[in-house]
Structure 1
Amino acid sequence: MLAFFKNIKGDKAIWGVVALLALFSFLPVYSASSNLVYVVGNGTNIGHLLKHGLLLFLGFGIIYGIHRIPVHFFKGLSIIAMPIVLVLLVYTLAQGTTIDGANASRWIRLPVVGFTFQTSNLAAVVLMIYVARYLTKIKDKTITFKESILPLWVPVFLVLILILPANFSTAAIIFFMVLMLCFLGGYPIKYLLGIVGSGLLVLTLFILTAKAFPDLFNNRIDTWENRIESFMNGEDIEADYQIEKAKIAIATGGIVGKGAGKSIQKNFLPQSSSDFIYAIIIEEYGLIGGLVLLFFYLLLLFRIVVVANGSKTIFGKLLAVGVGLPIVFQAFINMAVAVELFPVTGQTLPLISSGGTSIWMTCLAIGIVLSASNKEITVGKKNSVIDDTNPLEVLSGQL
């Protein structure tokens, strides 16, 4: 065990924050899973808790393994992984079935372990690494928009188009994160404005096509409209019901909350252990608990910025920001939905919510950030003459 802890490298504060969030998650997950057990009739509290624990245990295994990889190794991996991700997204979108009543175009089922896997989460991480690699490659170079279309924007829009029909919120978050990373990476703002316009045009054409030919392909246009309308005027019954129950949970939590496991609204609030777990946390632990949780995400954000600022390479800086900020951004969106600052998006609370392998993808991103913070690996490879823009040289030289 001591040898294991000696091999833990990287930013210790990030390790601490992630470990505390993961440990705390067992309390609200165990409490909120009673909705699945007694209302939905799915499994037992202990069963859901054990599943959550297994996912986190394997997730920390992913963090440990990934954080030991030299950061420049991810350049080559992103090129290799991008075609694989596109194939997985096509396969996921083409299923056209349902899993537990939900649109299966967002998940594939892993036959061996029995878990469902949301391929868009993997695609988001891989795409951010790929974009960071490209921005590093063109750093300090004068590049035209035409030159960047094929190597940068074609892969970005292919990923977004394959995610969009089944998961608008995830596609929107990825698009925003890519734009932010490109801005931080020095990509010309005038080109980014053109990309925003192009994105809005593609989205408009997609919506018009889906409305004109509703049987052409599976999509969630009506769901998007209902959620936005519900947010604007509260006319959608289902979404409005979720928000109202979440607000009741928050209001009755008060300053110190009702206590661990004593939530009432978990029995009425759909997705209480995933999408709306923040409302249950405030009901049980009060405003203090909600603010403490917010503080830890802000601390994680701060440490990600510290890691990016301290990295010795441009790629390390962009990589830490590219895969780290979406974790915190997703957490803020989940919290904003619970207090009705955002329409319902279906985004979980990272490292806290129960769920499938989305936990693993969060852990993958955290492992990459820790790799970028691992000074021993970075310094140890600083004299390498390998061309780390070439994936074949990276693979042959670093493995």
Structure 2
Amino acid sequence: MTESRWRAPASDPVVGSGAFMHAAASHLLQLYLQRTGWTADPPGPAGALWRHGGDAAIAIPHDLTPTATEWRGVVERLARFERRAPRDVETSVEFHLTDVTRLRAANDIVIRGSIPLEAGVSLVSSAWSMLRASATTAVRPRGHIAGGFSRQADALVEQARLGHTQEGSYVIPVLMPLTPPAAEGAERPAVPGLELERLAHEPPERRVMRTFAQALAAVDRVIVAPERTPSAGDLQAAVVAGASREMVMALHRVLSDDAVSEFAAAFSWAGGVMAPAGVPSSVRLPAAAASRLQQAAQQLKASSYTPDEIVTGPIVEVRHEPENPFGEISVQTVRRGRQTEVRVRLRAEQLLETFDWARDGRSVVCEGRVRRMPGRPLMIDEPRRVQPLDETYLPTPPAAAGS
């Protein structure tokens, strides 16, 4: 069979997604305009005039809806300014605060883009199981959830929507609306000479979808791709990335169907929130991997690995005082079911590299004892490791012969 090279285009619309039915289109349009460099004049009784430097101006009526005649005119003027197709601009606005993961089950004989009903039901059911498992491991990594799903995580999964399949292949879009990023708080009193960089926080829904993508990538790199049985250390790295026995078993169910030759997932990140770095744009798993997934699931159940001194998430602050040999980063994470920040003490020479990770939107993993003091931030004083999360699940190559 010829190898599939499927990749969802960035502008590929979700047919009949209905995302505008669940978010105010006018508000999304304003957020999109702000992000792309437009500014609004003081509003009048009918609307506001938005300007892009001295190059262009567009009048935006109040409470604009996608069904209004004015909506088409606004989209077409934006499309001319951006030199893009109107449908592409409309899709960018519609999914400005929605992550989309496209799941695909392919078989050798595709008839008008269909697959057997049983395989389709398995894909939808397994998609829900994988997303639910990822949401729980986004709160607290663990190799075997064993029914202990997080209620907080389940509430986030309930926000996910199912789009229509796309013509030409059996693709199911999973839509996750994001909480709009909060505005940064007021500036704190300056410390003379203090170097302080604050970055935007990651919405909780994005953490779920990022964990979903990283867990699939870890399963591919640790379990499927290597020509050997993964070691306990390899599986632990996959668990830190968000993989779990429950996710692996859900993948196994899809790939065990005789009608399915491969499972693929492609990720499109909402334009209104910085896309995570270090996450693949797509993951593809062949049906031949089913037996390896089953074996890995048994290993995960037996190990029940739960990292208690692991903190994962994006860096939201880098701080350093002049002449101080140490500085700190703040990692946005979840502890005891709550969003929080954990500060990590690092040598000054390490800070430049971590700032590059923060600027690029690359999540990190920090390992060490988390210290709690009344009225003080959570702190890791002596981290055993700090590295990009995507580097942790690269499997260790086997030792060379004679070494």
| TM-score normalised by structure 1 residue count | 0.24
Q: 1 or 2, which has the higher strand percentage?
A: 2
Structure number with the bigger relative contact order (C-alpha 8 A, sep ≥ 6) is 1
Larger radius of gyration, structure 1 or 2? 2
